[in-house]
Amino acid sequence: MSICEWPPGERPREKLIDRGPAALSDAELLAIFLHTGSRGRTAVDLAREQLTAFGNLRKLLAAPVAEFCRQPGLGTARYALLQAALELSRRYLQASLSAGDALTSPDATRQYLSLQLAHHGNEVFAALFLDNQHRIIAWEELFRGSISSAQVHARVLVQRALQVNAAAIILAHNHPSGVAEPSAADRNITRQLKTALDLVEVRLLDHFVIGDGEAVSFAERGLI
Task: Decide if 200 contacts 158 (C-beta within 8 A).
Answer: yes
Q: Are 125 and 142 in contact (CB under 8 A)?
A: yes
Residues paired with residue 127 on neighbouring β-strands, in sequence order: 140, 171
Phi/psi for 19 (5° steps) reads -115, -5
Question: Domain extents for the chain?
Answer: 3-74, 101-221
Provide the pLDDT for residue 44. Answer: 92
Start-to-end CA distance of the chain, whole Å, equals 55
Measured in whole angstroms, the distance separating CA 84 from the mean position of its chain's CA atoms is 14
pLDDT for residue 212: 83
CATH 3.40.140.10 fits 101-221, yes or no: yes
Give 178: exposed, middle or buried? Use CB within 10 Å, 0-12, 13-18, 19+: middle
Confidence at residue 178, expressed as pLDDT on a 0 to 100 scale: 85
pLDDT tens per residue, the chain (224 residues)? Answer: 577 778 878 889 999 999 998 999 999 999 999 988 777 789 999 999 999 999 988 889 888 999 999 998 899 999 999 999 988 888 887 776 665 566 566 677 888 888 888 778 889 999 999 999 888 888 999 998 776 567 889 999 999 999 999 999 999 999 988 889 999 999 999 999 999 999 999 999 999 999 987 899 999 999 88
